[in-house]
Chain A
Amino acid sequence: DAGVIQSPRHEVTEMGQEVTLRCKPISGHDYLFWYRQTMMRGLELLIYFNNNVPIDDSGMPEDRFSAKMPNASFSTLKIQPSEPRDSAVYFCASRRRQGRTGELFFGEGSRLTVL
């Protein structure tokens, strides 16, 4: 079975540019999460969706960040305009509602560098 697929794997951009990160969750998973990983702050939850509906976006740092999930198989995280402090690895993860453990399945991450 295919895992969570993220693109791009690496993105280098200049300050002020728009960045769009993409995620395809595992088929059949009802929940999708966006996390950000930095050395200083570790792994932080940005937002998560249930059945394509945003449930908790309290972790989104500011209005420059937005996330959408137009259908069950696709989500985007957009940063506009980007700033150097947005440099991080952005992970997408998914899980299904059922199941005893409820572990998250992570993609390989998108490493963003804003110059």
Chain B
Amino acid sequence: AQKITQTQPGMFVQEKEAVTLDCTYDTSDQSYGLFWYKQPSSGEMIFLIYQGSYDEQNATEGRYSLNFQKARKSANLVISASQLGDSAMYFCAMREGSPGAGSYQLTFGKGTKLSVIP
């Protein structure tokens, strides 16, 4: 079974609208971390936001927020007020276990291509 599933290969959103990118994960660990990265057409991977499995509040970073539903094992990324510069690939990733226990690598989903329409 895939550890990270992103079911939307591509999404379109109108400029200034909000958009939700879906991510579900599969782990039996109690401690884990969830990440979202952005990859623009230039190719670099840009870290956006992090949610720890024990965090009670949903993470927010500027226009990005993470809708964390632990029981459903979902960690959707919400981008508010979309901008043309948000057009990119978006990857959800997971670290299983806690860093203190020696878990450091991330497993990535296949990504969602977001296109923002003027």
Contact = CB atoms under 8 A, between A and B. Distances in A.
**Bind each other:** yes
Interface of A: 31, 33, 42-43, 45, 48, 50, 56, 89, 91, 93, 95, 97, 99-109, 111
A42 B105 contact: no
Interface residues of B, number: 21
Interface stretch (B15-23, B79-87, B107-115): B107-115
Contacts of A111: 43
Interface of B: 33, 35, 37, 42-45, 47, 50, 52, 91, 95, 99, 104-111
B108 A109 contact: no
A42 B45 contact: no
Contacts, number: 50
Given A103-B47, A103-B50, A108-B44, A43 B108 contact: yes
Contact of B106 (A104, A108, A109): A104
Given A45-B106, A103-B35, A104-B106, 17 more contacts: A42-B110, A42-B111, A43-B108, A45-B107, A50-B104, A89-B43, A93-B45, A95-B104, A100-B52, A101-B35, A101-B50, A101-B52, A102-B50, A104-B47, A105-B47, A108-B42, A108-B44
A106 B35 CA distance: 14
A79 B29 CA distance: 35
Contacts of B37: 106
6 contacts: A99-B99, A102-B50, A104-B47, A104-B106, A108-B42, A109-B45
Nearest to B111: A42
B105 A56 contact: yes
Nearest to A48: B105
Identify the interface centre among B35, B43, B99, B105: most chain A CB within 10 Å of its CB. Answer: B105
Nearest to A31: B104
Contact of A102 (B91, B99, B107): B99
Nearest to B6: A42
Given A42-B109, A42-B111, A43-B91, A102 B44 contact: no
